[in-house]
C-alpha cells in the first residue's frame, strides 16, 4: 500500500473520530464545564440574546416570541446519531408540556434536508435555520446535540451537551415549570 493511500486512510479515520467526539461530549449545567470547545458556562444565568432567525418556511422567528414559556433550544443535525436519538424525547416533551414549554431545534443544514427529516420523523416542534454562533456568544460552540434551557423570563439556566434521555432533559427544566415570568418592565 502506498504512503499516500495510508495517509488518506489516516485522515479519513481522524475525521470520523472527530465527528463522533463532536456529537458525544459531556453534560454541563450551571457550572462545571466538560466540553473542550466552548465556555458557555460563563453565560449561564444571563439573558438569552433576542436573536431572529428564519424558520423552515422562511418566516422570521425571535426567541422573545416565546417569552413566558420555557424554551428548550436544541442545536442539532440530521446526520448526528445522538441528535437523532434525542429527538423522540424532545418531541414527547414538546407534546406533554405544550402550554408551558416550547422546543426550538436549530440546524445549519439545507432547508430541504431538514424539512425532509422533519416530515419523515414527524418532528412536532419549531425548527429554525442557523449556526449556533448566529445566536450570539451565549450559544457558541461546536458540540451537538447541545440543549439550552431558557426560563420564562428569557434567562439561560442550563446547558446539556451530548445525548440525554427524557428523564435527564425533564430534570433540567423541571425547576422552572413552577416559576412564573416576571411582569414586563
Would you please indicate which residues are annotated as catalytic (active-site) residues? Answer: 80, 83
Nearest partner of 127 among 152, 144, 110, 139, judged by Cα: 110
* CA atoms 129, 139, 14, 26: torsion sign: negative
How far is it, in rounded angstroms, from Cα 48 to Cα 46? 6
* Concatenated DSSP letters of 160-181: EES---HHHHHHHHHHHHS--P
Strand partners, 155: 47
Residue given cell 441528535 in the structure block: 83
- Asked if residues 141 and 64 have their Cβ atoms less than 8 Å apart, the reply is no
* Intra-chain end-to-end CA distance of the chain, in Å: 70
Q: Within the chain, how many helices (H) and strands (E) appear?
A: 4, 8
Residue given cell 426560563 in the structure block: 151
Amino acid at each position: 500500500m502506498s504512503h499516500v493511500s495510508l495517509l488518506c486512510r489516516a485522515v479519513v479515520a481522524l475525521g470520523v473520530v472527530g465527528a463522533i467526539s463532536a456529537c458525544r461530549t459531556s453534560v454541563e449545567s450551571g457550572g462545571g464545564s466538560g466540553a473542550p470547545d466552548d465556555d458557555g458556562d460563563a453565560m449561564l444565568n444571563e439573558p438569552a440574546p433576542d436573536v431572529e432567525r428564519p424558520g423552515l418556511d422562511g418566516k422570521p422567528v425571535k426567541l422573545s416570541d416565546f417569552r413566558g414559556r420555557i424554551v428548550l433550544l436544541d442545536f442539532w443535525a440530521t446526520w448526528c446519531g445522538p441528535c437523532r436519538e434525542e429527538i423522540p424525547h424532545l418531541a414527547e416533551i414538546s407534546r406533554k408540556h405544550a402550554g408551558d414549554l416550547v422546543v426550538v431545534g436549530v440546524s445549519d443544514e439545507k432547508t430541504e434536508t431538514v424539512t425532509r427529516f422533519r416530515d419523515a420523523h414527524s418532528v412536532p416542534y419549531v425548527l429554525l435555520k442557523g449556526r449556533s454562533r448566529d445566536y450570539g456568544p451565549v450559544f457558541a460552540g461546536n458540540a451537538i446535540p447541545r440543549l439550552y434551557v431558557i426560563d420564562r423570563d428569557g434567562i439561560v439556566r442550563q446547558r446539556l451537551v451530548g445525548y440525554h434521555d427524557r428523564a435527564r432533559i425533564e430534570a433540567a427544566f423541571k425547576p422552572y415549570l413552577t416559576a412564573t415570568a416576571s411582569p414586563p418592565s
